[in-house]
A = this chain, B = another copy of it.
């Protein structure tokens, strides 16, 4: 008998098929494949992108490096085709009964490596940590712009997940509004806090760690788990154990442990699901908010295993053919070699 399960934060019901559970090999997935061709994000093509906003260039004791030249490990540039414009003032307007705002925002690309054929999974932990520091640096900078209320950091890996360039990269969008799903999480978590006087995410971590069936991995600072009511097969959350509402306020030890947790999850996913396309989204508190007792930042990882789900967009209703307990077991048991951290 299938089960209907409710997400305890946003109240979304999901059908979990327990009868004919789909195993990793049952999915006709669109694998991540390299296509080649000219790439503006590659080493040596620094002038083919808009001028860089930020780059980490390991110093070799020589004179400081010039911007927009090789020598970097992580590089942040404006998106050449931004969804929103950075210039102009925020203009809130009515159009009869409707509401609109001028499309002010920032849209940046975080290039994770000069090497085209790397992926976030194959980078050394220390280099993944650098990517996380780049996210943080950009958030701290953009946070000063009072026009922005939210910063969305996400990664589309593979064409099936919406990536138009295959070179390893993530994206940042700064918005003058709050995205709907974030509002729902904030409200759901607040509601829970008002009743229980506890953070719902902290409660999830506590209950899941005790039960163990949906736990995939754990280190000093993070727990990686399959959520109780996942929308997608093999959906995974990476959650900091210590309560903190904003990604950018984490400690340096946290980024180090997050890099380790992410690398392990991505390697396990590549192993078990055969290099799937995926989306990865950081869920963090609104940038202008103080530290929140009810919200807990985390990362949601969604491998793209099912061909399409247009219907789900229209209804908010999800049918998931893989119980999270099964997904967690496959990922937990996957043996991957996590090499020691190596220098840049």
Query: What residues make up the interface of A, taking CB atoms closer than 8 Å to B?
Result: 1-6, 8, 10-13, 15-18, 20, 81, 83-85, 88, 95-103, 152, 154, 156, 159-162, 173, 175-184, 200, 203-204, 207, 211, 228-229, 231-232, 277-279, 281, 300, 302, 304, 307-317, 319
The residue among A6, A97, A101, A229 with the most chain B CB atoms within 10 A of its own CB is: A97
List the B residue with the shortest CB-CB distance to A171. Answer: B311
Q: Which residues of B contact A4 (CB under 8 A)?
A: 84, 100-103, 175-177
Contact of A319 among B83, B231, B279 (CB under 8 A): B83
A315-B182 in contact given A162-B308, A177-B13, A308-B162 (Cβ < 8 Å) = yes
List the B residue with the shortest CB-CB distance to A308. Answer: B162
Are B302's CB and A313's CB within 8 A? yes
Docked pose: A10 CA to B184 CA in angstroms:
11
Q: Which residues of B contact A312 (CB under 8 A)?
A: 313
Are B279's CB and A311's CB within 8 A? yes
A-B contact pairs, 13 of them (CB 8 A): A2-B84, A4-B100, A4-B176, A11-B183, A96-B207, A97-B200, A152-B315, A152-B317, A154-B315, A156-B310, A159-B307, A162-B311, A278-B310
In whole Å, how far is A45's beta carbon from the nearest beta carbon of chain B?
23
Are B182's CB and A316's CB within 8 A? yes
In whole Å, how far is A189's beta carbon from the nearest beta carbon of chain B?
13
Docked pose: A156 CA to B175 CA in angstroms:
33
Are B103's CB and A12's CB within 8 A? no
List the B residue with the shortest CB-CB distance to A198. Answer: B97
Contact of A103 among B2, B100, B277, B308 (CB under 8 A): B2
Contact of A207 among B84, B97, B179 (CB under 8 A): B97
Docked pose: A173 CA to B314 CA in angstroms:
14
Docked pose: A278 CA to B308 CA in angstroms:
11
The residue among A2, A211, A312 with the most chain B CB atoms within 10 A of its own CB is: A2
Q: Which residues of B contact A231 (CB under 8 A)?
A: 313
Q: Which residues of B contact A304 (CB under 8 A)?
A: 308, 310
Are A5's CB and B279's CB within 8 A? no
Are B3's CB and A102's CB within 8 A? yes
Docked pose: A232 CA to B182 CA in angstroms:
20
Docked pose: A13 CA to B96 CA in angstroms:
17
Are A3's CB and B314's CB within 8 A? no
Q: Which residues of B contact A184 (CB under 8 A)?
A: 316
Q: Which residues of B contact A1 (CB under 8 A)?
A: 85, 88, 102-103
Q: Which residues of B contact A307 (CB under 8 A)?
A: 159-160, 162
List the B residue with the shortest CB-CB distance to A231. Answer: B313
Are A309's CB and B162's CB within 8 A? yes
Contact of A85 among B2, B11, B102, B154 (CB under 8 A): B2
Are B83's CB and A2's CB within 8 A? yes
Q: Which residues of B contact A16 (CB under 8 A)?
A: 103
Contact of A5 among B96, B98, B183 (CB under 8 A): B98
Docked pose: A16 CA to B313 CA in angstroms:
18
In whole Å, how far is A72's beta carbon from the nearest beta carbon of chain B?
26
In whole Å, how far is A229's beta carbon from the nearest beta carbon of chain B?
7
